[in-house]
């Protein structure tokens, strides 16, 4: 059985649904200069906001103005929690101010109060791909050590203001996304840096990640000082990687590929770099800037739980990419599709057992409580004549994942805090900027080009999830 206080709910992020991108003193964020893309068409990063370009995050789904009605719908489903982020630019428009923007703080008071009034506990990510554009453009993003100070100032303000309303926090969303440094969108959204433009992109990515590790540790320490009941988690995309075969090279390669997750969690959970990081650091063109004070900070601020997103698993085949060196060295070219799995329209392979694998692996490695803070499926959907969507595919996807999650808890002994379904209301896709990649229990009448009434409609999965929550996961 899942624990009686299991946190069922949904997950969203500020920049993907709030809209109101310049309202009440908000500054521009890195997400505000991302154009619309599509499957196979990468989003572009423009230099400032350029007239005539389409920026889906500017309007989001207008949650800034509709949150009361949306939260009421989440409450109707029985949500125990809602994970969202605090847009850094609502609080510090450029990131370098010393005095926070009261109008921004007041908005999150209203939002959190509304949730709490409905019995929904806010779960908060401090930085979900929406750092101030000024810090990226003028300071060089997370390649600049000064970001640690700017971020901790922002975090302290939020922790002091909301600690009585929010228990579960995370510093950085999917901090390990940037390991994919060949695609600039990931470096840009994680760190405000285009790694491909750097002399040694890998080194740059590891440097930015290092400053974030230090910032996350300092913030964790501050959080515990402000309020010992706060739980601070890390948040990674659980990259589950299988070997294509039992060929030893495939197995070694899969092990190496899992570092794209473990390199990040190992530091934040254990408070120190793992042994294998030494080899990774030695291969860089120049040593990383890591001071003794940094190492001490890492040790003093380890996280309370492992938060992660899970969407799919991946497979590596050593023969897919021939490397002339003798050593096994993983690269994206080794990724192949899994012959046993189906995929959604964006080629994300559907693998419920991979969720159990991730839960078991984190448990065996760290023994900490875990929180599944994102899981879901993007589907192209339209309203039918009954003004609803018969989203059986979503019901089946989520039901199968929840079954595996329960096996991890009931059979494998994993300590699990909660489960929040990504995009519980349709919102702007992160990777493509599309609206048509829909994840929600609630359909939002909005199209990729920004047209649509914005009206909300319950999908079939709305009632289904209500039953799942009411039965604490028994009625699937
Ligand atoms: C995660 C992010 O990467 O996956 C979310 O934390 C994102 O911000 C989600 O939206 C799903 O990705 P996408 O590209 O389908 O929106």
Query: Measured between alpha carbons, how far is 49 from 47 in angstroms, rounded to an integer?
Result: 7
Q: Please, which pLDDT band fits residue 273 given cuts at 50, 70 and 90?
A: very high
Q: Is the pLDDT of residue 105 over 70?
A: yes
Task: Write out pLDDT tens, residues 356-414.
Answer: 999 999 999 999 999 999 999 999 999 999 999 999 999 999 999 999 999 999 999 99
Specify the DSSP class assigned to residue 44: P
Nearest Cα residue to 234 out of 90, 399, 370: 370
Q: Is the pLDDT of residue 327 over 70?
A: no
Kind plus residue range of the DSSP H or E element containing 193: none
> According to the model, what pLDDT value does residue 328 have?
53
Task: Write out pLDDT tens, residues 81-102.
Answer: 999 999 999 999 999 999 999 9
Within a domain: 445: yes
Return the residue whose CA atom lies nearest to atom 14 of ligand 1: 431
Mutation pick for ligand 1 pocket among 56, 374, 375 (CB with most ligand atoms within 8 Å): 374
Nearest Cα residue to 124 out of 229, 12, 21: 12
Distance from CA of residue 317 to its chain's centroid? 27
Q: Is the pLDDT of residue 324 over 80?
A: no
Q: Is the pLDDT of residue 326 over 80?
A: no
Give the distance (Å) from ligand 1 centre to CA of residue 430: 5
Within a domain: 441: yes
**CATH number for the domain that contains residue 397:** 3.20.20.80
Specify the DSSP class assigned to residue 26: P
Range of the domain at 446: 7-470
Within a domain: 433: yes
Within a domain: 87: yes
Domain count, the chain: 1
> According to the model, what pLDDT value does residue 257 have?
93
Q: Is 237 helix (H, G, I), strand (E, B) or coil?
A: strand
How many C-beta neighbours within 10 Å does residue 192 have?
A: 25
What is the average pLDDT across 97-113? 98
Task: Write out pLDDT tens, residues 208-250.
Answer: 999 999 999 999 999 999 999 999 999 999 989 999 999 999 9
Task: Write out pLDDT tens, residues 400-455.
Answer: 999 999 999 999 999 999 999 999 999 999 999 999 999 999 999 999 999 999 99
Return the residue whose CA atom lies nearest to atom 15 of ligand 1: 429
Within a domain: 347: yes
Percent of the chain with pLDDT over 90: 95
> According to the model, what pLDDT value does residue 331 have?
76
Query: Measured between alpha carbons, how far is 88 from 326 in angstroms, rounded to an integer?
Result: 46
Residue 191 sits at the vertex; the CA angle it makes with 190 and 197, to the nearest 5 degrees, is 115
Q: Is 231 helix (H, G, I), strand (E, B) or coil?
A: strand
What is the average pLDDT across 108-121? 98
Within a domain: 475: no
| Ligand 1 pocket member 429 (CB < 6 A) | yes
> According to the model, what pLDDT value does residue 115 have?
98
Query: Measured between alpha carbons, how far is 2 from 419 in angstroms, rounded to an integer?
Result: 11
Catalytic site residues? Answer: 174, 374
Count Cα atoms within 13 angstroms, Cβ side, for 121: 16
Burial label for 90, CB within 10 Å (0-12, 13-18, 19+), is: buried
> According to the model, what pLDDT value does residue 181 have?
87
> According to the model, what pLDDT value does residue 333 have?
85
Tell me the H-state helices in 34-182: 63-77, 88-91, 102-117, 133-139, 146-162
Query: Measured between alpha carbons, how far is 475 from 78 in angstroms, rounded to an integer?
Result: 14
> According to the model, what pLDDT value does residue 323 have?
61
| Ligand 1 pocket member 174 (CB < 6 A) | yes
Count Cα atoms within 13 angstroms, Cβ side, for 204: 24
Within a domain: 230: yes
Give the distance (Å) from ligand 1 centre to CA of residue 379: 13
* pTM as predicted: 0.97
Within a domain: 57: yes
């Amino acid at each position: 059985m899942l624990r009686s206080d299991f946190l069922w709910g949904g997950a969203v992020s500020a920049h993907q649904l709030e809209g109101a991108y310049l309202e009440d003193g908000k500054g521009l964020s890195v997400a505000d200069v991302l154009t619309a893309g599509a499957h196979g068409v990468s989003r572009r990063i423009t230099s400032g906001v350029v007239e005539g370009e389409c920026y889906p995050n500017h309007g989001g789904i207008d949650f800034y103005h509709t949150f009361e009605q949306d939260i009421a719908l989440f409450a109707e489903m029985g949500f125990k929690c809602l994970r969202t982020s605090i847009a850094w630019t609502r609080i510090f428009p450029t990131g370098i101010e010393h005095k926070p923007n009261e109008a921004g703080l007041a908005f999150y008071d209203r939002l959190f109060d509304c949730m709490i009034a409905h019995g929904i506990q806010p779960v908060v990510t401090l930085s979900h791909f929406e750092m101030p554009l000024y810090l990226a453009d003028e300071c060089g993003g997370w390649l600049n050590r000064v970001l640690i100070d700017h971020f901790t100032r922002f975090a302290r303000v939020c922790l002091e203001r909301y600690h009585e309303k929010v228990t579960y926090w995370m510093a950085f969303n999917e901090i390990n996304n940037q390991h994919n440094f060949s695609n600039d969108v990931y470096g840009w959204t994680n760190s405000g840096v285009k790694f491909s433009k750097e002399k040694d992109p890998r080194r740059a990515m590891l440097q930015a990640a290092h400053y974030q590790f230090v910032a996350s540790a300092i913030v964790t320490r501050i959080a515990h000082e402000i309020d010992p009941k706060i739980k601070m988690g890390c948040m990674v995309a659980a990259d589950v990687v299988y070997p294509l075969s039992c060929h030893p090279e495939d197995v070694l390669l899969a092990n190496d590929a899992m570092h794209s997750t473990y390199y990040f969690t190992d530091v934040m959970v254990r408070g120190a770099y793992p042994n294998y990081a030494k080899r990774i650091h030695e291969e860089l063109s120049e040593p990383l800037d890591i001071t003794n004070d940094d190492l001490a900070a890492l040790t003093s601020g380890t996280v309370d739980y492992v938060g992660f997103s899970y969407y799919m698993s991946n497979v590596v085949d050593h023969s897919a990419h021939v490397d002339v060196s003798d050593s096994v060295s993983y690269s994206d070219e080794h990724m192949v599709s899994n012959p046993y799995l189906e995929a959604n329209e964006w080629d994300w392979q559907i693998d419920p057992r991979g969720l159990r694998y991730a839960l078991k692996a984190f448990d065996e490695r760290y023994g900490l409580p875990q929180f599944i803070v994102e899981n879901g499926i993007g589907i192209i959907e339209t309203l039918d004549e009954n003004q609803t969507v018969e989203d059986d595919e979503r019901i089946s996807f989520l039901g199968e994942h929840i079954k595996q999650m329960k096996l991890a808890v009931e059979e494998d002994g994993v300590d699990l805090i909660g489960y929040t379904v990504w995009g519980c209301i349709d919102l702007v896709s992160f990777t493509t900027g599309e609206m048509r990649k829909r994840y929600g229990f609630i359909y939002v009448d909005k199209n990729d080009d920004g047209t649509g009434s914005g009206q909300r409609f319950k999908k079939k999965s709305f009632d289904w999830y209500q039953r799942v929550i009411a039965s604490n996961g028994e009625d699937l």
